Structure 1
Amino acid sequence: MRIGVDLGHCTAAYGGIGRYVEELTRALLAQRVSAAGPDEFVLFTGDDEPAWLSAAVAGPGPGRAGPRPRAETRHARAAHATLRANLFLGPRLAGLGIRVFHAPDTLGFPLTSARGVARVVTVHDLIPLLLPETVTRRHRWIRGVMLSCAVRWADRLIADSEATARDLADRFPEAADKTRVVHLGVDPRFAPATGEAVAAVRRDLGLPSDYLLYAGVISPVKNLEHLIEAYAILLKEDREIPLLVIAGRRGWLADGIMRRAHEVGLGGSVRFCGFVPDEALPALLTGASAFLFPSRYEGFGLPVLEAMACGTPVLAGNRASLPEIAGGAAVLVDPEDPAGIADGIRSLLLDSGRRARLAQQGIAQARRFRWEETARRTMAVYREAAEQTAPR
């Protein structure tokens, strides 16, 4: 079977979606050939081909493991994801012999396709519909339109979590029969880092030995304003509380979040350290006293699992997918209650035994999520979509 996958979202600018595209593609290309014979992947890249792609396409090298799927790359002009999908990808699919096309995000869904080309799209979340105030008006509009189109015309929808699948079915009842849940995985490089690595990242970022960490995009849906208010409550009680470190790129409507730290009088007690490269994240996570992620909504919540994999105790919001992904290995709090968030952080800081238990439980929980399994289940969705659209 010849499968097309759009890699246009495979950049750091796409945050978690970019990570999803990269890790899923690596895992798909690392599969063993099935009994039905080798699959072929056509990977559509933009103007800047990802640095990791050539090695992934080349395979594991001679003498290692068994045969793998074949893969080729095709350049497709970079543009807004929706224009790219409909002007430069959709019209080419049938001519390239594509049997299944996977859009890893709804913005890249091709609205039209030749007969015989099955379309699969991943729905990561419904934030623009459920929390419209957390995104820009333009983004809310185009996301809503493209999601509606995907629900109507896609042959299969992949949801990152049971929670996202439920939200999708609640909003679009017609989506229930075509939605399949495929959890994401955790890259093996997320593991407890050495003391030397932790010391190096602290030195590079100018951090003290004790710190509380949030890592992810800075945007309203992540609930950082309430996290900052919770931290202000704790700081009034104890001026020796560890520094709050907020790491990540600026997303939509980030200015108000950064102003909030000054409005509540925190000043230098909160450190915004900007984007942290992927290679430094395991050490940054390992060195934290706790990872704080009281998000209002997540379609999956990959940062939670990455922190767990590094042996860091986690506090997370009790909404959407986070209880499903945390699996009892995190302190869960109401994201709309700053006092409750403060209580959760306090309970972690005051109970070293609980932190140790959560660290071990978190490592075990993170091991349940593997990109190899994500690839296997995604391939099953491809085959189901192809079978449904096969000529009769």
Structure 2
Amino acid sequence: MGAALRIEGLSKAFAPGRPAIDDLSLTVEDGEIAVLLGPSGCGKTSTLRCVAGLEQPDAGRIAIGGNEVVSASGGVFVPPQRRELGMVFQSYAIWPHLDVRENVAYPLRRRGVSRRERAERVDAVLDLVGLRNFADRSVATLSGGQAQRVALARSLVYEPRLLLLDEPLSNLDVALRLRLRDELRRIIKRTGLTALFVTHDQSEAIALADRIAVMRDGRLLQFATPTELYNRPVDGFVAEFTGAGNLLPATLLTAEERKGVALIAGKRLPVELARPARSGTAVTIVIRPENLRLRPAGTERLDRAALPGRILSRRYQGAQTSYSVEIDGLVLEAVEAGSLPRFVEGDAVEVLLPREPAWALPSAASIGVPPGIAPQLELQTSDAA
């Protein structure tokens, strides 16, 4: 079974100036898959390496299963081989001169496990990753996905308490990456291990994680479930990095606790507030492209939620089509599922906003409510097409 991972006040600098990890704290629960997500240079791999014992932090504390493995202030640093970790690298790191069985058995042989027990445990873990029929094959003959499964099996065979994965899918082609990420989550969940996974791919993070930690410039911005992160980002960076697409300026007309009404493109829209704010405050509305719906202009049913617009461009993507739509000087991105595009550039359309209240982030500036606006009127959203 897995073990909870607790990181407190972790900091690490490799050179003078901005640290690679800046006072990071988070807890990964027993049996949970947590993903460190962020752009290159944000500190996610450095964090993983500190947990692994491959880097020694300047400050902070790390505990695995309640056992302290790092305390910068207390002078504690448990070496990697004594942390009961499994690690899967981007580059597979398997022995090319050994066959599949020998690669997987290697950690057990190093630990002095008997031949009979080695055989049983290797067979069991090869069954788990779907490679039992490849046990005697040279790893040089394997595909990239099969090689990565060998690396995973080798990390699992000695039953670690914590599994660390450093962008293990990034060297695979797109189709294989999509298939293997789903299998990877299934395998980890079957073992009951706690896992810490590093990636820069937000779709990969959402598919794999129980919770996602978004990092920027060495700092943790948000640690939340995929649903919460996707629909309620803590700030504009998290929204954009996770593909929000539409970050629209608006004015808050009314506000009460965490709910309010905002003015956007001349319409009133119910919103949920990321932080408490006052009437007259400038806010940024976050609307996912896939939560907008399009219909031809002039539809008989007239909704106050339908904003008139014009198709600026379209990008056909096979299973879906992305549109850029101009509305009263604003440009919105909308995505429609289906293999047949419905609109072309220049088409007049109506954009239907989501029925649920939009998510509103605080903006840097505060502006007054335009005169003549009656804040008691709200935009009634609709799901009609």
Same fold (TM over 0.5): no
Query: TM-score w.r.t. structure 2 length?
Result: 0.29
Query: TM-score w.r.t. structure 1 length?
Result: 0.28
Q: Which is greater in Rg?
A: 2
Structure with more strand by fraction: 2
Structure with more helix by fraction: 1
